[in-house]
Structure 1
């Protein structure tokens, strides 16, 4: 985005993720889980790891147990509890969209919790 696309203040991480969630097509996303997760990984890299810093640990704390899974698999496991770990490639089209929606819900909840008071 250029300076003309942004307001006078910097957009918060939460606002950025909400914008992506609300306008997925504008960012070339089609409702599939893996491309959405990779897009978010790219955003994280663009912030030198700040965007997703602590997200995996937050997911594990919510779960209340340890896991060797990456955040991408933890979200899938959380989206479909009791069915065992799934790989995103095995999800149906409607499950893909549910996983994407769940990913955005979890990430926004994480960012709200992490957001400093007053912002």
Structure 2
């Protein structure tokens, strides 16, 4: 198993998705949401990106404006037929939202990684053209 310190954000959160009970007890949607929020706040305090852009990215997936925080946006995306009635969920609905949460988070992080790689490649190209090797 890869050490946590060697994992990408995607790898780390894939681990959380596979074994939520290792990170949150008892494993629940609200517990996982709090875990993610705590992760983001810790990252911000220590100069990391945390979940910068996550809410805006979710709004793009939703396709219209919403005043909800990211937790509500995930629920809206996962349960579009709920029409705002998604704060008291059945166990099946909660399991579905958790599944969608980690799918969305993986897609978001994949895009973040791709953007970071593109930026790094562009920076290397500028240095190469400028003669800085």
TM-score (norm 1): 0.83
For 1:26, which of 22, 25, 32 is the aligned residue? 22
Cα distance in 1 for partners of 2:52, 2:25 equals: 23
Identify the residue that residue 107 of structure 1 maps to in structure 2: 105
Number of aligned residue pairs: give it.
113
Unmatched tracts of structure 2, length 5 or more: 119-133
Unmatched tracts of structure 1, length 5 or more: none
What RMSD over aligned residues (CA atoms) do the two structures have, in Å? 2.2
Would you tell me which structure has more helix in proportion to its own residues?
A: 2
**Conserved in 2, the CA contact under 8 Å of 1:79 and 1:98?**
yes
Identify the residue that residue 58 of structure 1 maps to in structure 2: 57
Structure ranking higher on relative contact order (CA contacts 8 Å, 6+ apart): 1
Cα distance in 2 for partners of 1:23, 1:72 equals: 20
For 2:89, which of 84, 88, 91 is the aligned residue? 91
Identify the residue that residue 40 of structure 2 maps to in structure 1: 44
The Cα shift of 1:29 comes to: 4.2
**Which structure: larger Rg?**
2
Secondary structure of the residue aligned to 2:100 is helix
Cα distance in 1 for partners of 2:78, 2:39 equals: 22
Secondary structure of the residue aligned to 1:117 is helix
